[in-house]
């Protein structure tokens, strides 16, 4: 038997330590939380994607009483990008959330498993590395590639 470990490298930076472009993207993700439709969970998530064209596309979670019919902020943004900007790669994706009291979360909010899979496929689709910024008031995690969020990801090479 062989015992193996997976280690990921990431940075935790205070908002003020982020590069200006990263702060701007985090701010767009925070603004996107205010377009969220979250009457059931009262957990509002926003995502902002910086494309290789320099454009920024935002998304927010949209809930539904039939829970599986809702869509997360990350998939809202990435689905729109796939439809409207199919040739554009996502350079950086920022994610922020507000809790049921309306305050931004203290801990950085990670994407759910379904969103991680979509992030991995988006990265593979354009054969590029997507940076991910996970915002929290206590600090922002800077992750240099989706494989750190989803090791052993399933992709089209298995089909």
- CA–CA dist 85, 78 (Å, integer): 10
- CA–CA dist 109, 74 (Å, integer): 12
Q: Which residues contact 29 (CB under 8 A, 6 or more apart)?
A: 46, 47, 48, 58, 73, 94, 95, 96, 133, 135
**What letter would DSSP give residue 5?**
-
Question: Which listed residue (17, 63, 74, 121) is catalytic?
Answer: 74
144 catalytic? Reply is no
- CA–CA dist 76, 61 (Å, integer): 7
- CA–CA dist 147, 24 (Å, integer): 24
Residues annotated as catalytic (active site), given as ranges:
74
């Amino acid at each position: 038997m062989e015992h193996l470990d997976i280690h990921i490298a990431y940075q935790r930076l205070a908002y003020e330590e982020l590069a200006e472009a990263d702060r701007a993207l985090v701010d767009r993700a925070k603004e996107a939380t205010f377009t969220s439709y979250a009457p059931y969970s009262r957990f509002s998530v926003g995502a902002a994607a910086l494309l290789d064209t320099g454009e920024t596309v935002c998304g927010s979670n949209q809930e539904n009483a039939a829970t599986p019919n809702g869509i997360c902020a990350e998939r809202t943004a990435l689905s729109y990008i796939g439809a409207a900007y199919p040739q554009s790669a996502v350079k950086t994706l920022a994610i922020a959330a507000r809790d049921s009291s309306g305050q931004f979360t203290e801990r950085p909010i990670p994407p759910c498993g379904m969103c991680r899979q979509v992030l991995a496929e988006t990265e593979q689709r354009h054969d590029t590395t997507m940076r991910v910024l996970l915002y929290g008031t206590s600090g922002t995690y800077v992750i240099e590639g989706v494989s750190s969020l989803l090791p052993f990801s399933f992709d089209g090479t298995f089909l």
